[in-house]
């Protein structure tokens, strides 16, 4: 299992990639609680894909469980941080 504290993909912190994708979805019109769900799903899918890219397709239940737990950890971290930041730093609409 990969250590979450040092998770980098090509030198970029993994959560930055998730946050960037969530911001992209936000610009497409999604808002509110849906963004938290999207951040969870994006984090989970990318976390699982990252684990598979490192270790290959899991052949045993234990390996599949490990990949799933890693994806959940990334997804929960991403959605938790996104929710925390969105409450502390709400976006404001530009005056135009």
SS3 assignment for 42-87: HHHHHHHHHHHHHHCCCCCHHHHHHHHHHHHHHHHHHHHHHHHHHH
Alpha-carbon distances of 32 from 8, 25, 77, 86, rounded to whole Å: 28, 12, 18, 9
**What is the pLDDT at residue 2?**
54
**What is the pLDDT at residue 53?**
87
Contact 65/41 with Cβ under 8 angstroms? no
Higher per-residue pLDDT: 13 or 65 = 65
Range of the domain at 33: 4-88
Does the residue 46 lie in any domain?
A: yes
**What is the pLDDT at residue 17?**
84
- The arithmetic mean of pLDDT across residues 29-47, rounded, is 87
Does the residue 29 lie in any domain?
A: yes
- The arithmetic mean of pLDDT across residues 47-70, rounded, is 90
In the chain, the number of structural domains is: 1
């Amino acid at each position: 299992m990969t250590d979450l504290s040092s998770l980098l993909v090509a030198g970029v912190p993994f959560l930055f990639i998730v946050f960037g994708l969530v911001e992209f979805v936000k610009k497409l019109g999604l808002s509110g609680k849906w963004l938290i769900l999207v951040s969870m799903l994006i984090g989970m899918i990318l976390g699982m894909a990252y684990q598979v890219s490192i270790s290959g397709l899991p052949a045993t239940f234990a390996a599949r469980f490990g990949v799933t737990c890693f994806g959940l950890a990334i997804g929960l971290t991403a959605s938790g941080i996104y929710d925390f930041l969105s409450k502390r730093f709400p976006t404001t609409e530009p005056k135009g």
